[in-house]
Amino acid sequence: MLWLWITLLFANFAESLAESRSKAQAASLRGAKQQSKAVRLQHADLHAPQEIIDSLLLHKGDIVLVNAGEVIPCDGEVIEGGASVDESAITGESAPVIRESGGDFSSVTGGTRVLSDWLIIRCSAEAGNSFLDRMIGMVEGAKRRKNAE
């Protein structure tokens, strides 16, 4: 009987620990999702007319310019340029990755940071429906289940 009690106690402790870690992870993901300004371009050209808008006003298909040190405002595809990108907030990988137009390395995730050079990106998701938004929703949606017995 004592072993059963110890097992149940340990199981509840492990479940509580996992729940608190998921809450911390959700807070970390929310921190990566910063409201920022975006430089929207009228067309895919570095010298195109620019408009500075709130990143929450971006729509699928919008074209944005992201320079070194700035946060990528939306999920999208790189259509011009190449840069080193810090994706550690999303992937946990500490080494920066190269993102460039064309090929397998053209997808970018909103909330990551451009470390060098610049990118012109075509947004592939509406604000509020990005990869980061879905991840936050999944982590926050994970509820601790109680046995009905």
Domain that holds residue 75: 35-127
pLDDT at residue 60 in the model? 92
102/142 Cα distance (integer angstroms) = 36
pLDDT at residue 10 in the model? 84
Q: Are 61 and 116 found together in one domain?
A: yes
pLDDT at residue 47 in the model? 81
Pairing of strands 37-41, 113-114: unpaired
Q: Is residue 121 part of a domain?
A: yes
Q: Are 8 and 78 found together in one domain?
A: no
pLDDT, one tens digit per residue, over 90-122 is 777 788 998 988 878 888 988 889 999 999 999
pLDDT at residue 11 in the model? 85
Name the 3-class secondary structure at 40.
strand
- Residue 77: which of 106, 42, 115, 99 has the closest Cα? 106
pLDDT at residue 76 in the model? 92
pLDDT at residue 25 in the model? 65
Collect the ranges in the chain with pLDDT lower than 50: 144-149
Q: Are 24 and 65 found together in one domain?
A: no
pLDDT at residue 42 in the model? 87
What's the structural domain count of the chain?
Answer: 2
CA triplet 65, 132, 100: central angle to 5 degrees? 40
pLDDT at residue 87 in the model? 87
Pairing of strands 76-86, 107-108: antiparallel
Whole-structure pTM value: 0.71
Fill in the DSSP letter of residue 130.
S
